Amino acid sequence: MHFPGILVEEKELMKSKDVEQIKRELEKQGYVIVKEKKEKNLLKVFDDNVVFTCNKDETIFSLSFLSNVIARIVITDKLTTVITFTKRKNTSYTFKIGRIPSLKGIRETYNVSSYELFLERYLEYLSNNNDEEVLNWLRRLMREKKTTESTH
């Protein structure tokens, strides 16, 4: 079974034989099993009491503390934007990364104790998997290869 996002509805699992085993495996991989996707879905409550939620379409993710949004992640087909809100200033980071890899990054990084650690790891993941960074790396590799070939 393959699920592109983070939320998995229970009815999707009913198609398999060993539902409990599959649930455990999916949860280990960072998926959240829900009865039904709602407009606001709880993904996690961190040890620092920050609540991590997402909308039904898994395009807007929010980190909230005492009902105040402290960070938001917006995922589109080709871009991911992370916005952090503080009393002093708002900071925005935009990455050229597809929807599926961005969601995979959330699954791989949100299972930590604090929201700060999650954001740090997720931003690092986005930076390392940013399409622009990958393209620049490939360009450097090709230039080096051409240079090496021309010297031999």
pLDDT given for residue 20 in this prediction: 87
CA atoms within 13 A on the CB side of 37: 13
Q: Which residue has the tokens 């708002």?
A: 90
Range 110-132 average pLDDT: 92
Residue 149 pLDDT greater than 80, yes or no: no
Cα(111)–Cα(122) distance, rounded to whole angstroms?
11
Q: Is residue 93 part of a domain?
A: yes
Q: Is residue 22 part of a domain?
A: no
152 pLDDT band (50/70/90 cuts)? low
Cα(66)–Cα(49) distance, rounded to whole angstroms?
8
pLDDT given for residue 148 in this prediction: 73
46 pLDDT band (50/70/90 cuts)? very high
pTM, to two decimals: 0.81
Residue 8 pLDDT greater than 70, yes or no: yes
Tell me the pLDDT tens digit for each residue of 28-44.
999 999 999 999 999 99
Q: Is residue 25 part of a domain?
A: no
Range 4-17 average pLDDT: 86
Q: Across the chain, what does the average pLDDT equal? A: 90
Q: Is residue 63 part of a domain?
A: yes
Return all residues near 33 (Cβ < 8 A) that are at least 6 apart: 8, 9, 10, 13, 23, 26, 27
Structural domains in the chain (count):
1
Cα(140)–Cα(42) distance, rounded to whole angstroms?
42
Cα(35)–Cα(12) distance, rounded to whole angstroms?
10
Cα(146)–Cα(133) distance, rounded to whole angstroms?
20
- 107 lies in which domain range? 37-151
Tell me the pLDDT tens digit for each residue of 64-111.
999 899 999 999 999 999 999 988 899 999 999 999 999 999 999 999
- Contact assessment for residue 104 and residue 80, using Cβ atoms and an 8 Å cutoff: no
Which pair of tokens denotes residue 108?
Answer: 């791989």
Q: Is residue 85 part of a domain?
A: yes
High-pLDDT (> 90) share of the chain, %: 67
